[in-house]
Amino acid sequence: MWDRDGKIWMDGEMVDWRDAKVHVLTHTLHYGLGVFEGVRCYETATGPAIFRLQEHTDRLFNSAHILNMSPTWSRDEIMQAHIDIVKANGLKSCYIRPLFYYGAESMGINPAPLKTHGMIAAWEWGAYLGKDGMENGIRIKTSSFTRHHPNVVMTRAKAVGNYPNSILAKSEALACGFDEALLLDTEGYVAEGSGENVFIINGKTVMTPPLDSALDGITRNTVIMVLKELGLEVVEQRFPRDAVWIADEAFFTGTAAEVTPIRELDGRTIGKGTAGPITKEVQKLYFDVVHGRYPKHHEWLTPVK
């Protein structure tokens, strides 16, 4: 990953990819306090465009605020840096990763003496859960790891330290021969995937868990808005894992995962055991939106010019 040509934005400078390094005493490396985003840029008829850059940037700064970090850049400067990094790497369609992290100015739990640093990288990244999964649906497993309690880590923040829980769940699911994990909240209700929000469909009603311990996903928000505009009922409500087993359809959403159908949970097929028809519609609609083929939401696209 580190050994390639290209540029990475670091603290306001365009640094050669191979030289974009930090010291081993970097605070975030030791204590896990940092905040980040996952953003995508897609090709449209009028050139590359970053999808919902404003919302991703707002969530990044909100995450920093929640964790009391003090980035010295404005939101506009960070948004411009996203555009610059896509251009600097000559990318048309890519994944973009901004991160605010603490430096190596001091050690110990107290973050007061530390400076908030920033980096933004961009690279090509295809279907996160595989091409076949996008087509035919993935097989997932209820995790033995519980999703965060909102009073243990701050679940509204997309924070570095929230992710060992995701990594444990994902690794367990893969080791058991599944594609992804489904995590339950501390009361046993469905929360989300290791890096995705989850939806189920019964008849024409679409249901997704509330944001108690799940991340406030921007793809989740996009899908809810577009489905409501199309007249479908979307309900934000708790449900247990067996509601997924007996659902007609299920799918994950996420910037990396986009809209990925789920065809099986815990060895039980969901619906007909393939990507469901409404899920396919949602997926098509999502790709129309991000590629600029859905005129109603062109304001979600920031052109890379």
| Catalytic residue IDs | 158
Following DSSP, what letter does each residue of the chain receive, concatenated? Answer: --SSSSEEEETTEEEEGGG----TT-HHHHH--EEE--EEEEEETTEEEEETHHHHHHHHHHHHHHTT---SS-HHHHHHHHHHHHHHTT-SSEEEEEEEEE-SS--SS--TTPPEEEEEEEE----TT-HHHHHH-EEEEE-SSPPPPTTTS-TTS-BGGGHHHHHHHHHHHHHTT-SEEEEE-TTSSEEEESS-EEEEEETTEEEE--SSSS---HHHHHHHHHHHHTT-EEEE----HHHHHT-SEEEEEETTTEEEEEEEETTEEPTTSS--HHHHHHHHHHHHHHTT--GGGGGGEEE--
Round to whole Å and give the CA distance between 256 and 253: 8
Among 111, 209, 217, 271, binds ligand PMP (CB under 6 A): 217
Paired sense of beta strands 138-142 and 180-184, if any: parallel
CA–CA distance from 261 to each of 9, 34, 131, 244, 269 (Å)? 34, 31, 11, 13, 12
Residue 198: CB minimum distance to ligand PMP, A: 9
Nearer Cβ to ligand PMP (38/292):
38
Using the contact rule CB under 6 A, the part of the chain among 99-107, 129-137, 247-255, 260-268 near ligand PMP is 247-255
What residues between 8 and 27 interact with ligand PMP by CB under 6 A? none
Strand partners, 235: 207
Nearer Cβ to ligand PMP (114/165):
165
Nearer Cβ to ligand PMP (114/181):
181
Among 38, 71, 98, 276, binds ligand PMP (CB under 6 A): 38
- The answer to whether residue 255 forms part of the interface with ligand PMP (CB under 6 A) is yes
Residue 49: CB minimum distance to ligand PMP, A: 17
Residue 11: CB minimum distance to ligand PMP, A: 24
Among 28, 63, 142, 219, binds ligand PMP (CB under 6 A): 219
Nearer Cβ to ligand PMP (137/195):
195
Round to whole Å and give the CA distance between 87 and 105: 32
Residues 182-201, one symbol each (x = binds ligand PMP by CB under 6 A, - = not), give: ----------x--xxx----
- The answer to whether residue 220 forms part of the interface with ligand PMP (CB under 6 A) is yes
**Tokens at 174, concatenated:** 């893969």
The residue count for binding ligand PMP (CB under 6 A) is 15
Nearer Cβ to ligand PMP (93/274):
93
Among 44, 63, 213, 253, binds ligand PMP (CB under 6 A): 253
Nearer Cβ to ligand PMP (114/178):
178
Using the contact rule CB under 6 A, the part of the chain among 11-19, 169-177, 248-256, 296-304 near ligand PMP is 248-256
- The answer to whether residue 218 forms part of the interface with ligand PMP (CB under 6 A) is yes
Among 26, 116, 166, 279, binds ligand PMP (CB under 6 A): 166
Residues making contact with ligand PMP (CB under 6 A): 38, 158, 166, 192, 195-197, 215, 217-220, 253-255
